[in-house]
Amino acid sequence: MAKQGGTSGKPKGHKVALVRMDATFFFERAVRSLDRHDLPRALKYFRKVVEYEPANPVNHCNLAGVLSELGDYQASNEVLERVLLELDPKMYECYFYMANNFANLGLYDLAQEYASRYLEVDPEGEFAEEAEEMLDILVTEFGTRMVRRRRDGRIRLRGDEDVARRFLEDGRFLDAAAYLEAKVQESSDATVDRNNLSLAYYYLGDVEKAIETAKGVLELQPGNLHAVCNLAIFYRSAGKEEQTQALLDQLRRLRPIQPELAYKLGTTMGILQEHRTAYDIFNHLVRFLPRPEAPVVHALAAAAANLGRLRKAARLWEEVHVLDPSSGIGRYYEEVVREAISRGLEVLPVSYQYVLPYADTTRLNGPGSEDPGSKLGRELWPPESVVRSSLMWVLRHGDPVTKKQVIPLVVSFGGEDVERALRFLLLDDDEYLPVKQAALKGMFELQPEEIVEIGLPSRILPVDFRPESARSLAGRPEWQRIVQLAVQELQGRGETTLAKVAMEIWSEFTQLIHLQAPRVRKPELWAGALECAARHRCHLPFSRKEVAERYKVSQQGLGDRLWLIIETCMLTD
């Protein structure tokens, strides 16, 4: 039977119009998402634009703008820094954008520094007038002073203290230690980095190493108040009461003029249960600061409550509520202290930290780092059902930054509803990456029995979070060989803490990739990629070419495996 010409059932003269998936395609969708105020979707599309045109600095600036709108100011600044360092050093407006981000983070010295830098390099620029206005406000309202941070005569694009502070505040103590060890190697007299490094060791539970590091700061700079305060807490934690009392004798006599140092000293004295001294310090701050901020007034109220001055504390928390009504901290503690008064309590142990007590449980504290006030009687908290329902609502409807903050707490509650909520977040392609990172960490803690599907940029990844699933893959000889090679290389270079970071990443990766594990033909490729991933996570610079040469592998192969580790473990900031 002969075949007839043409295609039966299809209209002639019509062609299927193929959609061209390029940077313009995703840019148009990003703009439409912005018009609809759908920031998470706009972020997704701008990331795609950057993928298709990575050399265009404007694309990166658009991405940074959306990150800033979402409240992730640190990530926004890292994108802008990349523009200045790698793409276009003359895109001076990045300095102004970074100044805005630092101001939103409350880092006013850095905000002033970057606004000034913008005016230096582009005095007639598009944002010159706004930068001048910002500087006027910073000086008038916050009393900040210009602090030039220079290295080799150039302004530093990323404040090292800011990166370290972010790691410490997020509970990433191992990353903080690896990052700060590298910084101390670069500059042996960096007292700020050494102080933060001592805290990282302390939170990791290595109290003796924390003590030695703090003592090293005092050798470089005798009388450094941050080091003395830290050392007093470390000694108390280590049970070295004689040394603790010797430092307390020094600290009781100090009254720093600078508000930042006074706040540090007052908080330290509170943690060490020296509430009378803490009260005097914070009372002086509140009386003499032109505009005392809510955390300072809260600290004074906490000292008053710990001393038994409950009515004074109640009045102060009323003031905190007026200064910062949106946080709810002043209102909460005012209700708690009035309840304590009605019950006839004489003293109310209260934390000096400016957080709600149930939010404070999300912080990973080092041994002995929690002051007695953080153990505030749980019977004075709102009922768990009320807290739980409100937090679950935030998890479903809140903004990305708030979602990220509440995930650790809802995980501590546990339950099927929490697991379902985290599953939804992990599978949602449009969800903000830091939220998915927090949800992933939560799943590692919950260890659900059923398979969890995770939406990654290139695929859907099924994961078995049960501990035995990770052991079955990690126990294979070729997979053990990978981590052994990376750890041996890093330890041989004296980077012991970074080796621990690599082991932590590999533990996560083997569990996540278990159900879709690739075949390992050359362990050295994976070992080099693992080292790069550890440096990437700790914000340490590295050369893929140099690492590939050390492991005697190809850059391309190493890069492919590095991307798989970064994507799977969500290591991208």
In a domain, 279, yes or no: no
Mean pLDDT (whole number) for 301-307: 95
More confident residue, 499 or 37: 499
Residue 513 counted as domain residue = yes
Asked if residue 476 and residue 391 are part of one domain, the reply reads: no
Distances, alpha carbon 228 to alpha carbons 210, 232, 252, 299, in Å: 12, 6, 12, 20
Q: At what angle do helices 128-142 and 108-121 cross, to 10 degrees?
A: 150
HEC string for 67-106: HHHCCCHHHHHHHHHHHHHHHCCCCCHHHHHHHHHHHHCC
Query: How would you label 298-311 residue by residue, b for 16+ Cβ within 10 Å and e otherwise?
Result: bbbbbbbbbbebbe
Report residue 282's pLDDT band, with 50, 70 and 90 as the boundaries. Answer: very high
Q: Judge whether 295 lies within some domain.
A: no
pLDDT tens per residue, range 334-383: 988 998 898 888 888 888 988 766 554 444 344 444 443 343 444 444 44
pLDDT class for 3, splitting at 50, 70, 90? very low
Average of per-residue pLDDT values in the chain:
82
Residues 272-281: what's their mean pLDDT? Answer: 95
- Comparing 505 with 476, the larger pLDDT belongs to 505
The answer as to whether 185 is a domain residue is no
Domain boundary among the residues 78, 112, 147 is at: 147
CATH number of the domain residue 59 falls in: 1.25.40.10
Same domain, yes or no, for 410 and 515? no
Contacts of 392 (CB under 8 A, 6+ apart): 410, 417, 418, 421
d(C-alpha 175, C-alpha 387), whole Å: 31
Give the range of the structural domain holding residue 36, as residue numbers without chain letter: 23-147
Asked whether residue 431 is assigned to any structural domain, the reply reads yes
Q: Which residue has the tokens 């927090």?
A: 438
What pLDDT, on the 0 to 100 scale, is given for residue 140? 66
pTM given for the model: 0.64
Q: Are 486 and 534 in a shared domain?
A: yes
One domain for residues 508 and 552 = yes
**Percentage of the chain modeled with pLDDT above 90:** 41
Assigned domain for 102 exists:
yes
Q: What pLDDT does residue 83 have?
A: 85
353 in any annotated domain: no
Q: How many domains does the chain have?
A: 3
In 3D, which of 401, 412, 326 has the Cα closest to residue 362?
412
Same domain, yes or no: 505 and 563: yes
Tell me which of 110, 125, 147 is where a domain ends: 147
Domain termination site, one of 96, 122, 147: 147
Residues 410 and 486 in one domain: no
Nearest to 270 by CA among 307, 234, 240, 297: 307
The pLDDT of residue 483 is 94
Clarify whether residues 408 and 515 are in a common domain.
no
Same domain, 424 and 486: no
**493 and 564 co-located in one domain:** yes
CA distances from 263 to 279, 298, 503, 557 (A): 11, 11, 38, 51
pLDDT tens digits for range 113-137: 888 888 888 888 889 889 888 888 8
The string of pLDDT tens digits covering residues 468-491 is 776 777 788 999 999 999 999 999
Are 492 and 428 within one domain? no
Q: Are residues 416 and 519 in the same domain?
A: no
Q: Is residue 339 part of a domain?
A: no
pLDDT attached to residue 168: 84
Mean pLDDT for 255-280 is: 92
Residues 63 and 118 in one domain: yes
